[in-house]
Chain A
């Protein structure tokens, strides 16, 4: 069997207007996704650097030796109201893989949720849940 290829054909150029919503998609299993959910501010972010600090005897200043600097890690706080919103979020919240994130500014990154906690408040028929997840920024799968 020989493999043959055709020529290329292109689409017209298209531009996707930023819908300015949060979007979380399990990129390798895209049925697991949630869009337009409420993400509370402020967003907590940090960048971790791998380093060692040395305070040599007799020296007046500390010496820092660094290797890698990593991505923007942090945490998200989601708010859902009612069971439908929670049911949309829950598979994403508990997904053990890489999630693709579009934020309202149109930025993209890949994250891995590692810790999840949430609180429930309100009438049982219309529970308001505040879920907090810690994440690490990871590379594209």
Chain B
């Protein structure tokens, strides 16, 4: 909190009705001696004298909380009356002033300095105090004595005004440091924003606001945290919290800045800090982009939107064998182990060693079988690398019924692996009508005895376009949005986000689609890890 004392420095009005003894009318009020003073000389009462104040330039980091008025006066008669009020010039050329309610001092007083208790928390015109209003601050002193002794040369009931000054009290602007997120965010697309506010006058935080801008926006020439459109904005939140997890998710491989401002209350109004920010980049192993299709069902009168999640159903370890071979089992003519001699993702792969010459196969275990939906497409992918000799390799899907019995197995096109690089193999198939689960199986055809082949980046998911993502995701849902303006803006449709089935499939019926209008749907997957 800071205080500034301002003295009159110019006559505004009524100076001919008063006489300054020892100096000009305004100057006698701006010193500390009772040897100079202002008295009414007009025979007409009430008579008013108005003076402008000197000003002070406030810094950008403070705001006026109040302006008070002090006066040193004396009077000899019981019927003396002095009134004081603060005002602001609202039209200098039109000489228009808006005054506040006057404060009166009446009766006999010896020279005393009064705190007139005006303490205006807003300007007399009702506006919040600003530098401009402070620059146009004026005071009115009215000698309102009545009675028979008003006539000069020595009316006994006039007030002697020795000194007059305003005290401007300001509050410091809060400051804030955004502490998170920063650097590279690898574990969530809903990062938490935290900050450390500083209120040097000890006020509590009354509110905060967060805006997230992507690098394209904040790097723009006309960027303003106040006016530019954020990727996510919280609006002004009335809270003492120093952190919030964002409710909207952010795009991967994108750099953002989290802008935060905090406020404390000044005269019941939020006084905000300047915006501060923390920069961060999202780099996450995100769920796979789903596939989405939409068609109009004239029977239901709705657009049915179907989303296939393509995120790997395998555990993270099954997908890349970074820890051990848990979740995998040797099936035919082989033993399996984790190997760090070759890898396509991470630092390890599944080494499949043939026991004798012939085909060898390994599969995910039945204990880790993956849920499927009958009559829907599913895909698997795996990368193979030969230890020495290239062989025909393929990846397949074992369809299981509700009792865990194999219904059938489908393999993708076999491709020769290579000892110099990993080679991707894929398979897609429709789950049989009685299928409830599936396993992934990898096969090396016609291997020689004691031959090793490495398998890495293994995935299984819904849909017919094989795609590898890290495994270990769970609790899938899909956000589904509709655009009616060629993709310029999207709005979530009813019941979005929709929870996916165990096999990462979901459908939503959009009954509220506008007719005779071109619409586009889009979807994204969400998952926990």
* Stretch from B166-174, B198-206, B282-290, B391-399 at the A interface: B282-290
Q: Within 8 Å CB of A17, what residues of B?
A: 515-516
B residues 224-259 near A (Cβ < 8 Å) are: 249-252
A44 CB to nearest B CB, Å: 23
Given A2-B529, A3-B190, A4-B529 in contact, is the A14-B518 Cβ separation under 8 Å?
yes
One of A5, A23, A106 near B525 (C-beta < 8 A)? A5
Asked if B116 lies at the interface with its beta carbon under 8 angstroms from chain A, I say no
Interface flag for A33 (CB, 8 Å): yes
Tally of A-B Cβ pairs under 8 angstroms: 134
Q: How far is the CA of A59 from the CA of B503 in the complex (A)?
A: 75
Question: With the chains together, A68 CA to B359 CA distance in Å?
Answer: 79
Choose among A4, A7, A16 the residue that contacts B516 (Cβ–Cβ < 8 A).
A16
Given contacts A1-B529, A33-B300, contact A8 B523 (CB under 8 A): yes
- Measured between beta carbons, the chain A residues less than 8 angstroms from B189 are 3-5
A112 at the interface (CB under 8 A from B): no
Least distance between A140 CB and chain B CB atoms (Å): 8
User: At the interface, yes or no: B115 with Cβ under 8 Å from chain A?
Assistant: no
Cβ of A108 and Cβ of B522 under 8 Å apart?
no
Nearest CB to that of A10 among chain B residues? B522
User: Which residues of chain B are near A2, meaning CB under 8 Å?
Assistant: 187-188, 190, 528-529
Determine the distance from Cα of A49 to Cα of B457 in the docked complex, in whole angstroms.
Answer: 66
A9 contacts across to B, CB distance below 8 A: 289-292, 522-524
Beta-carbon contact of A11 and B522 below 8 Å? yes
Determine whether B15 belongs to the interface, using a CB cutoff of 8 Å to chain A. no
B521 closest partner in A (C-beta): A11
Instruction: With both chains docked as a complex, state the minimum distance between the C-beta of A97 and any C-beta of chain B, in angstroms.
Output: 14
Minimum distance in angstroms from A127 CB to a CB of chain B: 25
Residues in B with CB closer than 8 Å to A30 are 300, 302, 509, 511
Q: Which of the residues A7, A13, A19, A35 comes within 8 Å of B289, measured between beta carbons?
A: A7
- Chain A proximity mask over B276-298: 1 for CB below 8 Å, otherwise 0: 00000000111111111111101
Chain B residues with CB below 8 A from A4, complex form: 187-189, 284-287, 473, 526-529
Given A3-B249, A5-B526, A10–B521 Cβ distance below 8 Å?
yes
Asked if A84 is at the interface (CB within 8 A of a chain B CB), the reply is no
B487 within 8 A of A: yes
Residue of A7, A12, A14, A108 touching B303 (CB-CB under 8 A): A14
**Residue among A6, A12, A13, A102 making CB contact with B288, cutoff 8 Å:** A6
Is B323 engaged at the interface, CB distance under 8 Å to the other chain? no
CB contact list, A14-48 vs B, under 8 A: 14-19, 23, 25, 27, 30, 33, 35
